[in-house]
Structure 1
Amino acid sequence: MVKTVACADAGHDCDFVVQTDNVDELVHHYMDHAERQHDREVSRSDAEDLVTEVPT
């Protein structure tokens, strides 16, 4: 099942979105983006809370 996370879901005015079926990869990319683009550290737990399934 494909999952997604969007930076806007965390309250940022940002169009970053990542989709993959690998949750570890998804969380890694989101955490890296938050640190590099927003100078914000996000815990794995908080990142996982933003993950949603892509509707089919």
Structure 2
Amino acid sequence: MVNAVFCRDRGHDCDFAVQTDNDDELVHHVQDHAERIHDVELSRADVEDLITEAEA
């Protein structure tokens, strides 16, 4: 299953999106983006709450 996180879907004016079948990789990329671009620290649980199943 491929999971995704899209900043725009979470109310941000941001085109960041990540899709992968590796949840560890997804969490890493989202945490890194959130910290660098939005100055927000997210826990793994925070990121998991943002994950949606990507459309095929």
Identical residues among aligned pairs (%): 68
Q: Which runs of 5+ in 1 are unaligned?
A: none
Pairwise CA distance, 1:36: 0.3
TM-score normalized with structure 2 length: 0.88
Q: Deviations over 1:8-50 (max 9, x none)?
A: 2332110100000001100110010000011111111111111
* Secondary structure of the structure 2 residue equivalent to 1:30: helix
RMSD: 1.1
State the number of aligned residues.
Answer: 56
Q: Which runs of 5+ in 2 are unaligned?
A: none
Runs of 4+ with deviation above 3 angstroms: none
TM-score, scaled to structure 1: 0.88
Question: SS in structure 1 opposite 2:14?
Answer: coil
Q: Match of 1:43?
A: 43
